[in-house]
Amino acid sequence: YKDLYGVVPFTERIANEYTRRFLPLLNPDFAKFILDENDRLVAFGLAAPSLSEALKKSGGYMLPFGWVHLIHALRHPKELELYLIAVHPDYQKSGLAALLLNEITASAVKRGIMFAESTLELETNQRVQDLWKSFDAQQHKRRRCYKKDLV
């Protein structure tokens, strides 16, 4: 992601912290990895069951019974959150992103999930926009930043 507009690289310490926080939520059905012939990671895709409806039902509280809604959403998801797909620069434009998305989609369909929500993506990132062409995709959110020189 380092070449994408607005991306700020993070340190190994931050990467380890994200791993510690989010690894317990990771469902192996929705985490896909591609290794090269030397067993080096060259691409991966991560998705997870959406917790938004569960959080609404719980009113944002875990106690006394909010956790029940979250556990149910994790075990019986109705919607998937597509977090990220990353491909090493040497392997970009080789179809690996589409392959990862296809594998995640197949896992979702197998579990009866028919809807997915993608995370932020640049409107100008045509490769990402092209991934959605084979889906019945609807853009229903847009987030933009505008800048103006003051001097």
How far apart (Å, rounded) are the C-alpha atoms in residues 74 and 51?
A: 7
% of the chain with per-residue pLDDT over 90: 26
Other CB atoms within a 10 A radius of the CB of residue 73 amount to 21
Yes or no: is domain 12-130 CATH 3.40.309.10?
no
**Is pLDDT at 126 greater than 90 in this prediction?**
no
**pLDDT computed for residue 95 by the predictor:** 87
HSE toward the beta carbon, residue 148, CA cutoff 13 A: 1
> Of all residues in the chain, what percent carry a pLDDT higher than 70?
95
Q: Is 104 exposed, middle or buried (0-12, 13-18, 19+ CB in 10 A)?
A: buried
pLDDT bin (cut points 50, 70, 90) of residue 2 is low
pLDDT digits (tens, 9 = 90+) for 76-118: 889 998 888 888 989 988 889 889 988 999 999 999 998 888 8
In contact, 84 and 18? CB cutoff 8 Å? no
Q: What is the mean pLDDT of the chain?
A: 85
Residue bearing tokens 């993070």: 10
Q: pTM for the complete prediction?
A: 0.75
